[in-house]
Structure 1
Amino acid sequence: MKRVYKYISLAIVIAFTSLVSAQQGKIQSVKNDYRDFAYVKTSEVLLEVANKGYKSAELFQKLANSYYFRNQMEDAAKWYGELMALNEVIDPEYYFRYALALRGTENYQESDMWMKKFYEMKPDDMRGKAFISKVDYRDAIEELSRDDIEPINLEINSEFSDFGTTEYEDKIVFASSRGGGRKYRWNEQPYLDLYSAKVSDSSYSEVTEVLGKVNTKFHESSAIFSPNGKYMFFTRNNFFNLKYKEDESGVNRLQLYRATLSEDGTWDEIHSVHFNSQDYSVAHPSLNLLGNKLYFASDMPGTFGQSDIFVVDVNDDGTLGEPENLGPSINTEGQESFPFVNTDGDLYFSSNGYPGLGGFDVFKSEELDTKVRAGSNKNFPIENIGKPVNGAYDDFAYYENLVTKRVYFSSNREGGKGSDDIYSFEIPECEQLVVGTVVDMDTDELVPNSTVILFDGEGKEIERVTVGADAQFQFSLGCELEYLVRGEMETYASDEKRFTTPDRKQELMLQLLLDKDEQEIEPCDDLAKILDIPIIYFDFDKANIRYDAEIELQKVLAVLNKYPTMTIDIRSHTDCRGPEKYNENLSERRAQSTRKYLIDNGISEERLTAKGYGEYRLVNDCGCEPTNASTCSEEEHQLNRRSEFIITGINGKTCPDK
């Protein structure tokens, strides 16, 4: 069984009803095995029935489920597909399982189709809501994926199941079924025990059972240690004080236990936490940095789905308070499990209730523990952490050490040594590289010898460089930090870019656009173009100076005052609308109005000439022909209602065509 809950399932009890009468005896003969999760035998019998051509919704449901719960998604998808082909009324949960099975075979397009049907059948289901709110989830996951990480399958993995890693002193502690002894009927592997392995320079050795009274003849897994190393919380079947207990349906549930470190280095004094019950499961503990909050998975009363993430206070003596569900922003009607809280307070957990890449994916909710301790509301945004941790199979039991940058997670992906394996990688050093060029805004030409300055988010200068002939620059930056890059050059106005670097290594491209602040002026030049003075516009059929036009004329006035020998010719134009003669007179009035404004503001009238050109010098195709005029917009006509400023002379030089 390759699902996350193959050993630690939160008990999904599936009842049988009558099938095709001719096959009733054979199917009934495996009923008890099916209820006890002995799916290997059941699937063989059901497959034999189906391969003989018998069809029924119950047969296909049971057969598909047997593959689904063993994570054999290709076969599960096949038989769920046969179930759907019957077109019978079925529980919408089978749409969800079919979608998940298709996702596990990377048939995402068809999976999305069935998820939409699932949402249509159960519009209030949080799993459907999560999908429909972000149908482009694969794009979002791809953006969060890392191609600079290559997980390593640990050399200590066995041919059996190994998963659920945590660090303790110079060791890792994990669950494994390598120990031999009695076998679990679900997958014909030995029961799980807790083991440790010594870690030295990313090498793992000396695999031994955890010493003390922790391991029993039933399952143990998912250990976590208090910050002072005095306590260990772990998961075990409901087996305590040599008593094995089952619920009313005959299922032995999971429970949470606390062990105390003895002076001889063994783990003894096993205590059952007070909210354990034979009627529901409690499993997979994780402690926050302070050790005062414990997160775990359970299907106790108040659970939204098949299993939820809960949090509980940890007292100084290691006892626990009353559990609290993290709420619907974390939990769905599916399975949420294997919580882990890093030293920054970020919660990682596995779920099959949110859109993902297949099976169980690992999700993250930043600073959740900080919010929980502050008593804030339960609005906890989550995100899929993407590849390579997540893939088409079950990915779970995420653990990271932010000091050593070492990450562990478990998966049953292809290429492993056993049914579940432990994988590891080091978080790459996050160094950003910003590269760019300095160019002229108007000409797009390079601006060599310009200065580029790097500032931090508070404006403190970090580094400056002078660019060469290629006008290129580059800086090495940290991750998740704010920076400002500024380009400077004499005779240019500066340009700057402010940005925040992402949380992973990448190259950022920048282009600094410097605007020419000082240019050589020659006769016949267009003053508006040289100094970036916009066209002076007039309202339709009017010659008065608008407020926005006055602002631009103040710029012209400043230039004329700076260059007392400069003379200009003011040229006013209209659009084609209206009679030709009228437009000539209108443009003349506008030209003279502009000239008068400059004279009234101190410019000698001898320096200014003005002429109206009517509609004869249009700047676009909005001519006076009725067809053209009628198709032009008001904005296009306004481009022709303009004034221009042509330098006719400066410093003794004149424009030949004056």
Structure 2
Amino acid sequence: MRNNFYILFFLLVCQFILAQKPSIKKANELFANKAYVEAAKMYEQLKHDQKVLQNLADSYYYNAQMKFASTHYGTLFFTYKDSVKPEYYFRYANALKGIEDFEKGDIIMGEYLKYSVDTKKFREHLNNIVPFNYTVRQMTRSNSTGDFGISFFGEKVVFASLRNTESPLYKWNDRPYLDLYEATVSKDGILENIKPFSEIINTKTHESSATFSKDGKTMYFNRTNDVQVQVGEEKFASVKLFKAVFENNAWTNVTELPFSSDQFSTQHPMLSPDEKKLYFSSDRPGSIGSFDIYFVDIFEDGGYGEPQNLGDNINTIHREQFPFIAEDETLYFASEGLQGLGGLDIFMARTYDGVYGKPINLGETINTGMDDFAYVLKANEGIGYFASNRKGTDNLYSFVREENERRFIVEGDVRDINTKELLPGTTVTLYDMDDKLIGQLVVGENADYVFNSEPNTKYKIVADRDFYASKTEIFETTDDGRVRFTIELEIESYDDAEDIIVTKEDGLVYIQLENIYFDLDKWDIKPEAANTLDVLVAIMKKYPRMEIELGAHTDTRASDAYNLRLSHNRANSTLEYLLENGIERNRMRSKGFGERVPLINCGDNCSEVEHSINRRVEFIVRK
């Protein structure tokens, strides 16, 4: 009997040891099931190949542990950069911004976006144009409560929290499941009299993001599905929207909204001020990005219209979540796809004739390099609340906002004059009429710019972009109460503007001139060559930002070393001619290629015509 006990004990110990032994299969299962805390622990013990590094960094990233995430993304990029997919650039950049390494984060984000990013200048720019400045205070004295998704509930507030220590742990973050709580708020913005919300609403799964009718008798909220379903290669529990009504002093009639689904998530409901629309965020089929903001009409009979996407003026290929509609119909929401400081930032978009205008980042008095979201507002009192994980976990913050006195604004976007396509990465600069620099901005994905201006003042606004002609507009502000001067800058590419400038199949932009001929073994500029170069001088004076490379090529007669030296001298001679005719040296560079890059690869059997084709000077536009 005793021997059987020891055998059983030995088997149980072995089973426990085997269960704890790290393996790539077990770690990947944990990661696939979104058990990121346990997955990270196991990945840390495994050999850090590319797949492990990706999942390890992601496990920290999804739990807002940006210090560890950025370290492992950094190792991933150092070791495997040539094969890293674009989405890791995006997360790595935001992880760096989360630890306030904005300079390096901008470099990585610039590689992802394919145009330059300057967060420092963007922050300075926002300080001039945001409509409000915020004074922010944390609403609790603890940083570990996991509070977010606050909403107004009469004289109280309702919010989601991880406070229920009796709840089982959620594998994503090893914290309790979310429940709704109600509380009052003190005059200095601190949560008081906190207690769980109705037991009818709170269940064994997640509840969050409640919104209430003004009479307090109807509520909408999130609830996570209590079962996981297989969708494609992923198994997950979707988030759904529910409605409940308050009758006989209790919440009852909890019903799932008909546009929720097991196949995708629908979350963050928000009633419009007139209670005729319900806004929400969803990754349903047809979304532009991972999550978009939608609305449905609420009919008088209690039915709902079809979900309507707010469109690409609001939504991006990344996350847009937590909509809030103010009394004046202004939309506030969180986005990680619009240009920001890192992670989710809070934006506002005003409505013009029922259409939302371009969103404005609320600026660094409220946003950080981490996630800032779930903004709600009492506009008439200038106060409100939001959530942020700026201290490592979700916490609620109260704010007081005051108007930014700098209110005269010039705004617009930059487009190609012919295709009308937006041109992100364009530099837009505002000057006064004495050419004093007022502001400068590299436009983001939406190619839009906003500058602070003064009343009764004349300005010059300039758009500059590589391979495009500069565009200048002059405008004058007034003091008639109009604070926004919308100026769309349309600029034209060199190859559209000039017949002799063409983009070839190799992707390079060439200035096509008659060939420049030199006497045998010579490199001085002959009169007929000067005539051709004078055309180039005129082009470069017409476009003062244009920069070119002069490439001189020879035929294959004579040795390779001799031809290389000869072509170098001819390229330099051409550059000197342009310099003598008023073109700055820093706009040009010259290079001799010798016989190494022939247009016709005929070797030692070239005809005189083929030799003459290979013997050339090319002009490539570099900027």
Scaled to the shorter chain, the TM-score interval is: 0.5 to 0.7
Structure 1 residue 229, shift from structure 2 partner: 2.7
CA contact (8 A) 2:298 2:304 kept: yes
| Partner in structure 1 of residue 328 of structure 2 | 344
SS in structure 2 of the partner of residue 78 of structure 1: helix
Instruction: Quote the Cα distance in structure 2 between the aligned partners of 1:204 and 1:288.
Output: 25
| Partner in structure 1 of residue 102 of structure 2 | 108
| Gaps in structure 2 of 5+ consecutive residues | 1-20, 408-451, 457-476, 485-623
Deviations 1:590-636 (A, max 9, x none): xxxxxxxxxxxxxxxxxxxxxxxxxxxxxxxxxxxxxxxxxxxxxxx
Aligned length: 396
Given the alignment of the two structures, is residue 197 of structure 1 paired with residue 157 of structure 2, yes or no? no
Alignment map for 1:408-557 (pairs within 5 Å)? 408-414=385-391, 419-428=393-402, 498=479
| Partner in structure 1 of residue 78 of structure 2 | 85
Deviations 1:285-322 (A, max 9, x none): 11111111111000001111111111111122443211
Structure 1 residue 189, shift from structure 2 partner: 1.4
Pair 432,60 (structure 1): closer, same or farther in 2 beyond 3 Å: closer
| Partner in structure 1 of residue 57 of structure 2 | 64
Alignment map for 1:58-457 (pairs within 5 Å)? 58-86=51-79, 87-120=81-114, 136-144=121-129, 149-155=134-140, 159-180=144-165, 181-199=167-185, 201-202=187-188, 204-211=191-198, 213-239=200-226, 244-248=227-231, 249-264=234-249, 266-367=250-351, 371=353, 374=354, 376=355, 380-414=357-391, 419-428=393-402
Deviations 1:352-401 (A, max 9, x none): 1122112111111112xx64xx4x4xx63011101221012111100001
Instruction: Quote the Cα distance in structure 1 between the aligned partners of 2:388 and 2:292.
Output: 20
Instruction: Quote the Cα distance in structure 2 between the aligned partners of 1:215 and 1:262.
Output: 17
CA contact (8 A) 2:219 2:244 kept: yes
Percent identical across equivalent pairs? 35
Pair 497,182 (structure 1): closer, same or farther in 2 beyond 3 Å: closer
Pair 134,177 (structure 1): closer, same or farther in 2 beyond 3 Å: closer
CA contact (8 A) 1:350 1:395 kept: yes
Instruction: Quote the Cα distance in structure 2 between the aligned partners of 1:389 and 1:135.
Output: 16
Instruction: Quote the Cα distance in structure 1 between the aligned partners of 2:91 and 2:455.
Output: 47
Instruction: Quote the Cα distance in structure 2 between the aligned partners of 1:144 and 1:44.
Output: 45
Instruction: Quote the Cα distance in structure 2 between the aligned partners of 1:316 and 1:217.
Output: 33
CA contact (8 A) 2:282 2:292 kept: yes
Structure 1 residue 199, shift from structure 2 partner: 3.5
Structure 1 residue 271, shift from structure 2 partner: 1.0
Instruction: Quote the Cα distance in structure 2 between the aligned partners of 1:148 and 1:403.
Output: 16
Pair 205,380 (structure 1): closer, same or farther in 2 beyond 3 Å: same
Instruction: Quote the Cα distance in structure 1 between the aligned partners of 2:221 and 2:229.
Output: 19
Instruction: Quote the Cα distance in structure 2 between the aligned partners of 1:193 and 1:229.
Output: 19
Instruction: Quote the Cα distance in structure 2 between the aligned partners of 1:165 and 1:229.
Output: 15
Pair 232,105 (structure 1): closer, same or farther in 2 beyond 3 Å: same
User: Which shows bigger deviation, 286-295 or 86-95?
Assistant: 86-95
Structure 1 residue 340, shift from structure 2 partner: 0.8
| Partner in structure 2 of residue 10 of structure 1 | none
Amino acid in the other structure paired with 1:237: T
User: Which shows bigger deviation, 204-213 or 222-231?
Assistant: 204-213
Instruction: Quote the Cα distance in structure 1 between the aligned partners of 2:123 and 2:455.
Output: 30
TM-score for the superposition, normalised by structure 1: 0.56
Amino acid in the other structure paired with 2:194: V
SS in structure 2 of the partner of residue 343 of structure 1: coil
Pair 254,499 (structure 1): closer, same or farther in 2 beyond 3 Å: same
Instruction: Quote the Cα distance in structure 2 between the aligned partners of 1:27 and 1:303.
Output: 34
SS in structure 2 of the partner of residue 98 of structure 1: helix
Alignment map for 1:560-639 (pairs within 5 Å)? none
Pair 232,319 (structure 1): closer, same or farther in 2 beyond 3 Å: farther
Alignment map for 1:7-86 (pairs within 5 Å)? 26-49=23-46, 54-86=47-79
Pair 185,82 (structure 1): closer, same or farther in 2 beyond 3 Å: same
| Gaps in structure 1 of 5+ consecutive residues | 1-23, 121-127, 434-479, 485-495, 504-658
Structure 1 residue 330, shift from structure 2 partner: 1.1
Instruction: Quote the Cα distance in structure 2 between the aligned partners of 1:355 and 1:93.
Output: 16
Structure 1 residue 348, shift from structure 2 partner: 0.9
Amino acid in the other structure paired with 1:498: D
| Partner in structure 2 of residue 632 of structure 1 | none
Superposed CA RMSD: 3.2
